[in-house]
Structure 1
Amino acid sequence: MKLDGKVVIITGGAGGLGKEASLLFASEGAHVVVVDYHQQSAEEVAKEVNGFGLAVDVSKRDQVDEMVSEVINRYGKIDVLINNAGITMDSTLVKMTQEQWDRVISINQTGVFHCTQAVVPHMIKQGSGRIINTSSIVGRMGNFGQTNYAASKAAVIAMTQTWAKELGRKGIQVNAVAPGFIMTPMTEKMPESVLQGMKEKVALQRLGTPRDIANTYLFLASDDSSYINGAVIPVDGGLSI
């Protein structure tokens, strides 16, 4: 197994991409800490993967610090952090409210900063670690009605590349994944005509699956990626080329 005995924190770990990653990582031998905004959801997925579930709002530093302390007390180490938690609150620039801007930035950008800064001292102490950040192709291409989301995901790319330079010499690899159009419960509710239009924009002529993203997380968390640092890997079927 690729992650036998590794302790992995997955934020947003109870839904969509995060749940798929939690299931996959557990199947590869990891001790999975399922972190989610909703306590019940975190505990339900944690039970499925024989892991540990915690309710955390990653925008709140005190909650993040408490979460990291609990993980260290339970397992004694943290090998992998996947900053997967994220939200959207879409609106065009002229209609976007301050609340929409602040909330998306607080979760998608500041939350990544909080979790990484809280975890990294433990990784430095042990001389190893993997940080995997979830960006988006929107962070490089922009998207209509997503000023806040695009800004947050562009920031994730910038932080990833900065931290890769700072932490590589400490034995910590920092990389990002940039998903494209992924089939989730939310997209499944879209009209077929809209889904078809999305597929036609993709070189592979299909939407991605949560497993496509989870597989990329697994690659970056495992020894298979031992010389990859500061990369931003698009998982978009060729949408961004």
Structure 2
Amino acid sequence: MNRTTFDFSLILKIKMTGRLKSALIMGASRGIGKQVALTFAENGYKVCVAAKTIESTHKLPGSILEVANEIVEKGGDAFPVRCDVRSEEDIFNTISQCIQRFGGLDVAVYNAGAISWKEVVETPLKSFDLMNQINARGAYCLVNKILPHMIDNKHGRLILVAPPVYNRFFKGKTAYAMTKVASTVLVHGVANELNGTGVSISALWPATVIKSQVTDLRRLPPSYMRKPTIFADACLEIAKEETEILNGKALIDEDYLRSKGVTDFTKYRCDPLIEPLRMMPAEFPSLMVKEELHDPPYKSRL
């Protein structure tokens, strides 16, 4: 599909069969979140574009208004909502507006994030608190507020931008890692509560550096990065999974796309001639202990 225009025949077909789905993308004003919103819209989803930024500036380009307008101008269905994920009220109101406008929510992607890769002695409590509020608390609030709706409908897909848990990830960025791994723990834990409900929650993390506002500020060479389309395509594939097989999984974008049959990743390169280095391990440790194999089903222990 040409990414500059939407597939009108696909959208029309979905509308005629009553299968037009909806997605809430948190942190969608730029970078990965923007591309996720565009990719879902290209594939027939109605999209709520949510983030804090409502006005683009030279220092911080991109806004929810621009992303929503881009989708609408290309024939998609989207609307913007200003949402500060540090606010419980904002998150609840955003979810409520989506449900009211779309008649329900099929997918929610939590991409909002704050980042500071410094050692603990160089990370003041103020910086840690900000990362914790946005990365961990905001993700928890979204899940807490949206689950009742999805469970009642016996359907829903939650995707949190969070890494698999492994020791090397913590090095040199402990404070940041604490707040991101908190979301991964949320995924693993809530998955037990969702078994058999028709709702699933997954974590997703990039295999390589992804071009974003942060990489632009740091002026990373294109050869280091992939386009955000790879991450967006992986989100879409997770959302399309009809079973609960991904419930509780911490996934890597490239690895998951390979499992779905994708073999050519050259289209995702920022430098068309150079494949960027993978920053994620090839394999990850299991978090299960042998005693867990003999545990009774979660619900039976309540």
Q: Same fold (TM over 0.5)?
A: yes
> Does the residue aligned with 1:5 lie in a helix, a strand or coil?
coil
- Separation of aligned partners in 2, 1:174 and 1:137: 14
> Does the residue aligned with 2:225 lie in a helix, a strand or coil?
coil
* TM-score, L = length of structure 2: 0.70
* Larger gyration radius, structure 1 or structure 2: 2
1:70: how far off? Answer: 1.2
> Does the residue aligned with 2:185 lie in a helix, a strand or coil?
helix
1:138: how far off? Answer: 8.0
Letter in 2 for 1:30: Y
Cross-structure match for 1:96: 123
- Note if 1:43 corresponds to 2:65: yes
Letter in 2 for 1:178: W
Cross-structure match for 1:19: 34
User: Are 2:164 and 2:184, in contact at CA under 8 Å, matched by a contact in 1?
Assistant: no
Cross-structure match for 1:9: 24
> Does the residue aligned with 1:86 lie in a helix, a strand or coil?
coil
Of 153-162 and 229-238, the range deviating more from structure 2: 229-238
- Separation of aligned partners in 2, 1:216 and 1:139: 21
The alpha-carbon distance between structure 1 residues 70 and 39, as it changes in their structure 2 partners (threshold 3 A), is: same
Q: CA RMSD in A?
A: 2.3
User: Are 2:164 and 2:250, in contact at CA under 8 Å, matched by a contact in 1?
Assistant: no
Cross-structure match for 1:202: none
Aligned residue pairs, count: 231
Question: Structure 1: where are the runs of 5+ without partners?
Answer: 200-205
1:154: how far off? Answer: 1.1
User: Are 1:81 and 1:132, in contact at CA under 8 Å, matched by a contact in 2?
Assistant: yes
- Separation of aligned partners in 1, 2:184 and 2:150: 21
User: Are 2:37 and 2:49, in contact at CA under 8 Å, matched by a contact in 1?
Assistant: yes
Spell out, residue by residue over 1:81-121, the C-alpha distance to the aligned partner (whole angstroms, 9 max, x if none): 10111111343211211100100010000000011111111
- Separation of aligned partners in 2, 1:167 and 1:63: 25
> Does the residue aligned with 2:44 lie in a helix, a strand or coil?
coil
Cross-structure match for 1:203: none
- Separation of aligned partners in 1, 2:83 and 2:94: 7
The alpha-carbon distance between structure 1 residues 148 and 173, as it changes in their structure 2 partners (threshold 3 A), is: same
* TM-score, L = length of structure 1: 0.87
User: Are 1:112 and 1:133, in contact at CA under 8 Å, matched by a contact in 2?
Assistant: yes
User: Are 1:87 and 1:104, in contact at CA under 8 Å, matched by a contact in 2?
Assistant: yes
Identity in percent: 27
Question: Structure 2: where are the runs of 5+ without partners?
Answer: 1-9, 56-62, 73-77, 255-277, 283-302
Cross-structure match for 1:56: 83
1:167: how far off? Answer: 1.2
Higher relative contact order (CA closer than 8 Å, sequence separation 6+): 1
User: Are 1:124 and 1:172, in contact at CA under 8 Å, matched by a contact in 2?
Assistant: yes
Trace 1:24-173 onto structure 2 (pairs within 5 A): 24-40=39-55, 41-50=63-72, 51-136=78-163, 141-173=168-200
Letter in 2 for 1:49: I
Of 182-191 and 12-21, the range deviating more from structure 2: 182-191
- Separation of aligned partners in 1, 2:173 and 2:92: 30
Letter in 2 for 1:15: R
User: Are 2:31 and 2:211, in contact at CA under 8 Å, matched by a contact in 1?
Assistant: no
Spell out, residue by residue over 1:177-200, the C-alpha distance to the aligned partner (whole angstroms, 9 max, x if none): 0124212243245456xx59xx7x
- Separation of aligned partners in 1, 2:165 and 2:225: 16
